[in-house]
Amino acid sequence: MSVFFQTVTMMVPRVLRVGPLRVPMYGVCAAVGLIAALWLSLKTARMVGLASEQLWDAGLFSVMAAFVASRLLLIAGDVHGFLRLPVVMLALPSFTVGGMVLSAVGVVAYLRWKRLPLLKVADAWAPCAAVLAAMLSLGRFFEGTEVGMPTRLPWGTVMPGGDGSVRLHPVAIYGAIASVALVVVLMGLLRRRMRDGMVVAIALVVGGAASFLLDMVSQPVEMTGNAWLDPQQWLAVGAMLVGGLMLTFLKETA
């Protein structure tokens, strides 16, 4: 299995060259993931009783909102840098927690404007988000940017730049597998016609738990101070809390 992973990473370039353009493999996976998520939303929309075209338009708006929000926060953080190097600044990856919150506010406002039920839309988007997460995990695997802790398991990957004596957990592959499994589970829940909001609540709990566990076998990020958890683990805990509260509320009001 380890040999298979190494062979795949050697065969797939980190950067694709199309004439004078250089496209990072992560960007390719992200684009494919977005297209796949939007395509799946056409099916999940019908499963929750929404018009496919409306959910497709809402998905496109969400993508644009995320891009615009992240760029605005990036520019606001360094206006002088943007004025000097606007193209370089806009090309930087910068989707932070603040960008997520700002994007969410814009998306909720759009859904209210279009008179779309928030819980139904969230349920329909839950498996689509898992598809996107799987493709982003593959992108990180091809780029080698998500490094795991050392392991003796036979499927451990060789540490980049090492002599092959140290093997690491393929965390990105774990994440892709977990995301695909979550897609299967969520699609099954949608077919059961559960109460509005239940599917996305379960997705938050299960997805948050998976993210928390995966971070435990990932190499820790550099942080100042004595933080109890990594930033990704705090986000995972938040997702689990929100999902758990939603499940409790929906069951009590059933």
How confident is the model at residue 154, as a pLDDT? 76
CA distance readout (Å), 169 to 85, 157, 208, 234: 38, 6, 19, 21
- Residue 80 tokens, joined: 């002088």
Q: HSE (CB half, 13 Å, CA atoms) of 229? A: 13
The helix/strand/coil state of 233 is helix
Q: Is 207 exposed, middle or buried (0-12, 13-18, 19+ CB in 10 A)?
A: buried
Name the one residue in this structure whose structure tokens are 């379960």. Answer: 202
How confident is the model at residue 146, as a pLDDT? 75
**Is residue 50 over pLDDT 50?**
yes
Q: Confidence class of residue 148 from pLDDT cuts 50, 70 and 90?
A: confident
Reported as a single tens digit per residue, the pLDDT across 78-94 is 677 666 766 665 665 56
Beta-bridge partners for 22: 17
Run of H or E including 195: none
CA distance readout (Å), 138 to 108, 134, 144, 197: 29, 6, 10, 29
How confident is the model at residue 126, as a pLDDT? 96
Q: What is the pTM of this model?
A: 0.82
How confident is the model at residue 130, as a pLDDT? 96
**Is residue 188 over pLDDT 80?**
yes
Q: Determine how many CB atoms are found less than 10 A away from the CB of residue 218.
A: 20
**Is residue 73 over pLDDT 50?**
yes
Beta-bridge partners for 17: 22
**Is residue 217 over pLDDT 60?**
yes
How confident is the model at residue 10, as a pLDDT? 47
Structural contact between residues 103 and 62, judged by C-beta atoms closer than 8 angstroms: yes
**Is residue 200 over pLDDT 70?**
yes
**What is the rounded average pLDDT of the residues 31-40?**
93
Which of 113, 100, 129, 109 shows the shortest CA–CA distance to 211? 129
How confident is the model at residue 96, as a pLDDT? 65
How confident is the model at residue 113, as a pLDDT? 94
